């Protein structure tokens, strides 16, 4: 969610400290995993809100400085393939950046973290139908945005 490995590590440490300090208050209304995901999402959102207040566009500096780092599968180390993957990921993250916050969270948890929709609903503290609706709207918006990005790139 934060698009920076170092920041993600810092947030992970903060999450584990919070879990350690708060484990006795865990009320078992949801699974431990869901509770930890909820803490993690909240920590990431807090970080992004703080960063957004500092800068108008939280991901643009990351992309300008480093590009998108993607793991390569064994046997696919050709520079052209690596460049294509980075470019594709950059377009996707550019489009994800424009999603409303709830849609962005639901999309990342579903398609990047591979969480089941039921766990996303628990993590986001909303109904399963609401999560399904968020994911559907996110997909529509991403298709539209990716189409716009592709058309802009093609015409330049």
Q: What is the pLDDT of residues 141-151, one digit of tens each?
A: 988 888 877 77
**Which pLDDT belongs to residue 12?**
92
Over 50: is that where the pLDDT of 59 sits? Answer: no
What per-residue confidence (pLDDT) applies to 111? Answer: 86
Counting residues of the chain whose pLDDT is more than 70, the rounded percentage is 77
Looking at the structure, tell me whether residues 116 and 149 fall in a common domain.
yes
Whether residue 79 contacts residue 85, with contact meaning beta carbons closer than 8 Å, is answered with no
Rounded average pLDDT over 131-136: 95
Count the domains in the chain: 2
Boundary residue ending a domain (67, 98, 117): 67
**Predicted pLDDT of residue 136:** 94
Residues 121 and 99 reside in one and the same domain: yes
Same domain, 53 and 87: no
Q: Among the three residues 67, 84, 115, which one is the final residue of a domain in this structure? A: 67
* Parent domain of 44: 1-67
CATH number at residue 92: 1.10.10.10
What is the distance between the alpha carbons of residues 57 and 104, in angstroms, rounded to a whole number? 15
Q: Indicate whether 109 and 154 sit together in one domain.
A: yes
Assess contact for 109 and 99: CB atoms under 8 A: no
Q: Look at 126 and 76; give whichever has higher pLDDT.
A: 126
Which pLDDT score is estimated for 69?
A: 44
State the pLDDT confidence band at 54, using cuts at 50, 70 and 90. Answer: low
Helix, strand, coil shares of the chain, percent, nearest 5, are 75, 0, 25
Rounded Cα distance between 138 and 98, Å, is 10
* Tens-place pLDDT, residues 71-113: 434 444 566 666 767 777 787 888 888 899 999 999 988 988 8
Asked if residue 103 and residue 128 are part of one domain, the reply reads: yes
């Amino acid at each position: 969610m934060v698009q920076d490995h170092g920041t993600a590590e810092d947030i992970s440490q903060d999450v584990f400290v919070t879990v350690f300090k708060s484990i006795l208050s865990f009320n078992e209304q949801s699974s431990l995993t869901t509770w930890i995901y909820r803490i993690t999402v909240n920590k990431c959102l807090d970080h992004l809100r703080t960063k957004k207040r500092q800068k108008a566009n939280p991901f643009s500096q990351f992309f300008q400085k480093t590009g998108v780092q993607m793991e390569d599968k064994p046997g696919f180390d050709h520079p052209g393939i690596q460049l294509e993957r980075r470019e594709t990921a950059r377009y996707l993250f550019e489009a994800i950046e424009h999603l409303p916050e709830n849609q962005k969270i639901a999309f990342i948890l579903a398609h990047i973290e591979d969480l089941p929709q039921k766990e996303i609903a628990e993590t986001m503290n909303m109904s399963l139908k609401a999560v399904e609706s968020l994911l559907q709207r996110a997909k529509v918006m991403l298709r539209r945005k990716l189409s716009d990005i592709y058309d802009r790139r093609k015409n330049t």
